[in-house]
């Protein structure tokens, strides 16, 4: 009875505190601290504000708010050069509606909320709190790394096709497309005297994984590249006038414009003219045997009329605003950098305190730069001019075996460039899944278009029908996200649904603080039970990943894994959809399955499909605010 009375008093006190703080935006928590012998009550909200009988802090930014997330009671924090020490007396997560406390989760209630009726009566409720389940004990002593597999019959047939026979390997996520590509490459290295081989993949993280797998398979002498790094290497080798810097500010509209198939029409016209020279007669001309030059890009994309024709030829894919964006971007790129403009000033006076270039962080920071999309354009322009003059185009590598993975993400000119690198009699291996086409700057033209872009008229197609990576309930959820099949995972009402006890958790949270608190506690518990488990928190965008990593670090160590900074190691990686193609993890958490991050569009469906098909053990789909409609499709009739 004493315990019940104490809980009632605490809930009533919290309700009074919240009522006094009606002016505070989005109150979501409370922490009671003891510091220097004094008791301090703090509401956690979206702003720092104090008033009669209450004090609130911004839980995302105020250093003292980190005490809410400490493991245990004692805390030591640093704020403004001062050390804050004390004890946490109590914590609570609060749900407030129109200034009234309607629900509270106390640190003594095991995660179950108390709910307040309109008459002020509090009632305890029982809920099953979601958890991250450790792997079986037999697996916990080691890190999960994709290893050698036993190929099924369909996979083996594709691997053992005759040398020189091109193959297109299709299949849903986890069906073994990349595995088949690797094993076919290894088979050709062993049996067909394949001397020079290359593997082109979409992300740096996948590069690292495949290099490790090739080493485990004892397959040597294979180049593993992302397309961007590969193209940059060869472009700088054959086009000596290219700037050393790649642009930082090209918008998605500009990138999409340069990658569109309609660029071919512009290049056909441009090929009739001689290579462009600098407009400034005082600018030195770099000797080059190539028939395309950096300044050709200025002629192509620095002319509004030419850009308007390109947009019109795209038949509605490119928006009219891309003309102005591409024109302005090109103008900046062909403007002199600040170091050149002020070359007459003593160099020491131009040095910045942080060692960066003068233009960095300004609207002109892309002065004297080239876009990654320009490389394929220059190679194609050189080829067209060489064809007109009946001479040999610039030299490219010749591979006896070329693997193009996730080919649905490559633009037409990029595919053409890669196709030119296959040696006579060489073998081309292409793998992909149209449902995983998530790059918004690429206009996927279908698999016949991809293979034609690579220069192929005939090829073998292998479709892998069995998904091996994910538990069945995860696979079924993923299929329904993109409409591949019906049934399997549950729908229905309520904030939380359970598809399978150990494999799928679908959770809605009242506020972001509620979600971050659950993540911290669940990750902490998993780390204690299964320290070598690999966890990926996959956000919709890189910006969301940055933000969430900062919040999680208040209570648990996490790595921000962007721009390919993945490693085959245990722990928690916070990343985004674009980074995880081809990768897998023990546990995957999609933390932002909201209507804002994943609206009901084809692009969002493909992105969510990629995210939810990464786990080998468990998937958690979570959100706060309004849930996304696409993760919770009802089974069909």
List, for residues 421-480, the tens digit of each pLDDT value: 999 999 999 999 999 999 989 989 899 999 999 999 999 999 999 888 999 999 999 999
CA 575 to chain centre: 6
Round to whole Å and give the CA distance between 355 and 574.
29
Exposure letters 446-478 (e unless 16+ CB within 10 A, then b): ebeebbbbbebeeeeebebeebebbbebbbbbb
pLDDT of residue 635: 41
What value does the mean pLDDT take over residues 165-189? 95
pLDDT-based confidence at 282, cuts 50/70/90? low
pLDDT-based confidence at 359, cuts 50/70/90? low
pLDDT-based confidence at 566, cuts 50/70/90? confident
What value does the mean pLDDT take over residues 103-122? 87
Round to whole Å and give the CA distance between 478 and 470.
10
What value does the mean pLDDT take over residues 492-505? 53
pLDDT of residue 355: 47
Pairing mode, strands 197-201 and 399-404 = parallel
pLDDT-based confidence at 346, cuts 50/70/90? very low
Round to whole Å and give the CA distance between 410 and 404.
9
Q: Which residues face 296 on adjacent strands?
A: none
pLDDT averaged over every residue in the chain: 89
Q: Would you say 436 and 411 are in contact if contact means Cβ atoms under 8 Å apart?
A: no
Higher-scoring residue by pLDDT: 570, 184: 184
Q: Does pTM top 0.85 for this prediction?
A: yes
Q: Would you say 565 and 580 are in contact if contact means Cβ atoms under 8 Å apart?
A: no
What value does the mean pLDDT take over residues 600-606? 95
What value does the mean pLDDT take over residues 191-210? 92
pLDDT of residue 129: 84
What value does the mean pLDDT take over residues 507-511? 95
pLDDT at 348 over 60: no
pLDDT at 581 over 50: yes
What value does the mean pLDDT take over residues 536-551? 98
pLDDT at 498 over 50: no
Round to whole Å and give the CA distance between 33 and 358.
47
pLDDT of residue 230: 98
85 CB contacts (<8 Å, ≥6 apart)? 35, 74, 75, 76, 77
Higher-scoring residue by pLDDT: 363, 243: 243
% of the chain exceeding 70 in pLDDT: 89
pLDDT-based confidence at 336, cuts 50/70/90? confident
pLDDT at 357 over 80: no
Structure tokens at 470: 């994910």
């Amino acid at each position: 009875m004493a315990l019940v009375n104490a809980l009632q008093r605490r809930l009533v006190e919290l309700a009074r505190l919240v009522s006094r703080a009606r002016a505070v935006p989005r109150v979501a928590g409370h922490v009671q601290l003891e510091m220097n012998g004094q008791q301090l009550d703090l509401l956690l909200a979206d702003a720092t504000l104090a008033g009669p009988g209450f004090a609130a802090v911004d839980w995302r930014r105020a250093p003292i708010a980190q005490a809410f997330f400490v493991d245990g009671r004692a805390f030591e924090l640093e704020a403004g050069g001062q050390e804050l020490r004390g004890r946490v007396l109590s914590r609570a997560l609060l749900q407030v509606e129109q200034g009234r406390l309607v629900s509270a989760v106390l640190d003594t209630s095991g995660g179950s909320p108390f709910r307040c009726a309109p008459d002020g009566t509090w009632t305890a409720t029982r809920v099953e709190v979601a958890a991250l389940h450790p792997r079986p004990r037999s697996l916990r002593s080691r890190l999960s790394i994709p290893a050698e597999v036993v190929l099924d019959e369909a996979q083996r047939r594709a691997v053992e096709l005759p040398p020189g026979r091109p193959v297109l390997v299709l299949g849903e996520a986890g069906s073994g497309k990349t595995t088949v590509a690797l094993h076919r490459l290894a088979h050709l290295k062993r049996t067909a005297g394949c001397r020079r081989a290359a593997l082109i993949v979409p992300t740096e993280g996948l590069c690292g994984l495949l290099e490790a797998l090739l080493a485990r398979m004892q397959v040597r002498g294979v180049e593993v590249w992302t397309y961007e790094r590969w193209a940059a290497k060869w472009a700088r080798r054959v086009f000596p006038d290219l700037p050393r810097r790649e642009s930082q500010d090209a918008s998605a509209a500009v990138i999409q414009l340069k990658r569109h198939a309609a660029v071919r029409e512009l290049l056909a016209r441009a090929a009739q003219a001689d290579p462009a020279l600098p407009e400034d007669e005082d600018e030195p001309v770099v000797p080059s045997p190539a028939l395309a030059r950096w300044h050709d890009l200025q002629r192509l994309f620095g002319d509004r009329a030419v850009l308007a024709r390109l947009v019109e030829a795209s038949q509605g894919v490119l928006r009219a605003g891309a003309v102005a964006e591409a024109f302005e971007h090109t103008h900046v790129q062909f403007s002199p950098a600040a170091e050149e403009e002020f070359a007459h000033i003593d160099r020491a006076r131009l040095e910045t305190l942080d060692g960066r270039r003068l233009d960095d962080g300004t609207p002109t920071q892309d002065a004297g730069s080239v876009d990654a999309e320009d490389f394929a354009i220059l190679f194609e322009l050189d080829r067209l001019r060489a064809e007109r003059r009946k001479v040999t185009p610039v030299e490219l590598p010749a591979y006896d075996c070329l693997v193009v993975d996730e080919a649905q993400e490559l633009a037409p000119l990029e595919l053409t460039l890669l196709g030119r690198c296959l040696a006579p009699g060489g073998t081309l291996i292409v793998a992909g899944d149209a449902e995983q086409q998530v790059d918004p700057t690429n206009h996927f033209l279908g698999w016949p278009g991809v293979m034609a872009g690579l220069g192929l008229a005939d090829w073998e197609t292998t479709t892998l029908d069995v998904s091996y990576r994910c538990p069945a309930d995860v696979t079924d959820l993923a299929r329904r996200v993109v409409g591949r099949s019906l049934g399997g995972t549950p729908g229905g009402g309520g904030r939380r649904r359970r598809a399978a006890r150990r494999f799928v958790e679908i959770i809605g949270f009242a506020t972001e603080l509620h979600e971050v608190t659950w993540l911290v506690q669940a990750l902490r518990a998993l780390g204690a039970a299964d320290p070598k488990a690999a966890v990926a928190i996959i956000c919709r965008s890189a910006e969301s990943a940055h933000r969430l990593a900062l919040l999680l670090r208040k209570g648990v160590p996490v790595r921000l894994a962007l721009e390919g900074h993945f490693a085959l190691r245990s722990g928690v990686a916070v990343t985004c959809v674009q980074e995880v193609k081809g990768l897998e993890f023990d546990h995957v958490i999609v933390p932002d399955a909201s209507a804002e991050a994943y609206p009901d569009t084809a692009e969002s469906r493909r992105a969510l499909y990629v995210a939810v098909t990464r786990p080998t053990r468990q998937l958690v789909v979570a959100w706060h605010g309004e849930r996304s409609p696409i993760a919770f499709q009802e089974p069909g009739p």
